Structures are given as C-alpha cells and as structure tokens.
Amino acid sequence: MIATIKHRLKEYTVDLSNPLDISIPINISKQNINAWYIEEPEISPVSTDNWVGSVAAGSAVNFNNIAFNPHAHITHTECVGHITKDVHSINKNLQKFFFLAEVVTIAPEKKSNGDQVITLQQLQKVLKNKTCEAIVIRTLPNSEEKRSARYSNTNPPYMLEEAAVYLQEIGIKHLLIDLPSVDKEKDEGKLLAHNAFWNTKGIIRFNATITEFIYVPNSIKDGTYFLNLMIAPFENDASPSKPILYKLV
C-alpha cells in the first residue's frame, strides 16, 4: 500500500506495506531486556480457588496478569513527567503520532574515564542541517544481543548535555534511542540530557518525548523515514510503545 502525506508544505510518498518495527517486546519465554536493578517482568494466568485463567489448564480463555516496569523491561516512550514533581501523563501530552524521522548511526566516543558518550559534534555531523521532527539513534556496536541485554551496573553509553541541548534547539520533538537512558546510569540524579531535551529550566516542552530501548536492525539504512510512534493509553509518565518506521519511496 502506497500513501501520500504532506509535511511542511512538501509531499512524500510512503510505503505502508512494509512496516519496520524497531520496538523490543516483553518476552518471558527467554531472557528479557532489563535495567535499573529490578526483578524480571511476569506474565501469569489469574488463579483463584477453583479457576485458572489458562486454556491449557482447562479454562475457556487465557486471562493473564502482567507485571512490569516500562522503564526497565520494554521499549517505552516517556514525557517530561518522568523527571518532574508535578504529574504529567504521556497519554495526555503525546497527541500526534506520525512524524518524519531521521535514522542515524553513531559510535559513542570513549572518554578518559571510560564513559562512552554521544557528542554534539557527532549529532551535527550525521544530521547535516536536515529538518525533521524525530531522530532515531542506532549506536554501535549493534547486535541482536540488544534485545535481551542486562544493563544494570554496566555504565552504558549516554548522551552529553550539550548534545541534548542541540536537539532541543533545532526543533527535534521526539528522540528515540537504543539505550536504557539518554543519561549516565549513575549521575547523582542530575539527568542532564533529559532536562536539556525537555528544557525544564525554560519553557517546558510538554509535547516532546524520549523513547528508549528501541532496536534498529542493521538492515534499516540511515536516512529519512515516516514514523508511527504508537503508545498504550497509560495515564503515567511513560508507556510501552511500538515505534514503526516506513520507507519513503
């Protein structure tokens, strides 16, 4: 299926027949992705004194409870409510779901202290003054192991504050990345990149989002795509999400 969309007075042709899913699901049948020092997600049938919600156990239906944390166990999209005292809901603040997105690949630079970081200069180089509403960052190395990685106490790569300021200043509203956080794992609660991207010291960008724990297969080339940023209707700072890319033709 081919569709034509208009964006900022330009027309684009989109191939809707070939969705490119860049989300990581919860999958308890194997090692699930995990971060932030918490237990595994659980999916289990409801059980009462005389009934179990499982067809395999004799029920007419499968009727499962699911226990998880969106920040630790699954691709998720968060709003500024993730870091503010006031409650802000991703379900209320994300009201548009289709965007032009630039997929870029970056090998984080290694600092003298051993940290690996995404820098301002790297973002400027890969974006090359392109105008888009969303950026999808694939970091290197990029293997299938990202789908089940265990990030707690590993000091994963992160984004420098000045790099997040740059994205905010050029009008990127939706930042998607294949890491557990845009910030350093242990940073004494400073959350410099989160705060910079949402501009919490100025006019807060309530309609801007950060999506973490994506996975962009190597078969998806760098370039401009049509993004459908789908979330579940949770009144919470973050929601499980299913970002889908579509090629422009």
Nearest to 80 by CA among 208, 186, 234: 208
Nearest to 102 by CA among 60, 62, 64, 130: 130
Max CA distance (Å), the chain: 64
DSSP summary character for residue 154? S
Distances (CA, A) of 128 to 57, 74, 132, 135, 235: 57, 31, 11, 13, 37
Separation CA 97–CA 138 (nearest Å)? 21
Q: What are the residues whose beta carbons fall under 8 Å from the beta carbon of 112, sequence distance 6 or more?
A: none
Half-sphere exposure of 196 (CA within 13 A, CB side): 20
Residue 9 pLDDT:
56
Residue 5 pLDDT:
67
The pairing of strands 116-118 and 158-159 is: parallel
Q: Would you say 64 and 44 are in contact if contact means Cβ atoms under 8 Å apart?
A: yes
Nearest to 136 by CA among 95, 188, 107, 100: 100
CA angle 185, 188, 192 (to 5 degrees): 75
Q: Would you say 14 and 4 are in contact if contact means Cβ atoms under 8 Å apart?
A: yes
pLDDT means over runs of 10, the chain (249 residues):
66 92 97 98 97 97 98 98 97 97 98 97 94 96 97 98 98 98 97 98 98 98 97 98 96
List Cβ<8 Å contacts ≥24 apart for 91-94: 91/231, 91/233, 91/234, 91/235, 91/236, 91/239, 92/235, 93/206, 93/207, 93/209, 94/207, 94/209, 94/229, 94/231
What phi and psi, each to the nearest 5 degrees, are found at residue 12? -130, 145
CA angle 74, 149, 29 (to 5 degrees): 65
Distances (CA, A) of 248 to 2, 15, 16, 84, 176: 9, 6, 9, 37, 19
In tens, the pLDDT along 171-217 reads 999 999 999 999 999 999 999 999 999 999 999 999 999 999 999 99
CA angle 69, 102, 137 (to 5 degrees): 45
Residue 8 pLDDT:
61
Residue 192 pLDDT:
98
* Domains within the chain, CATH numbers bracketed: 2-25+73-247 (3.50.30.50)
In tens, the pLDDT along 212-243 reads 999 999 999 999 999 999 999 999 999 999 99
Half-sphere exposure of 211 (CA within 13 A, CB side): 33
Identify the three-state secondary structure at position 196.
Answer: helix
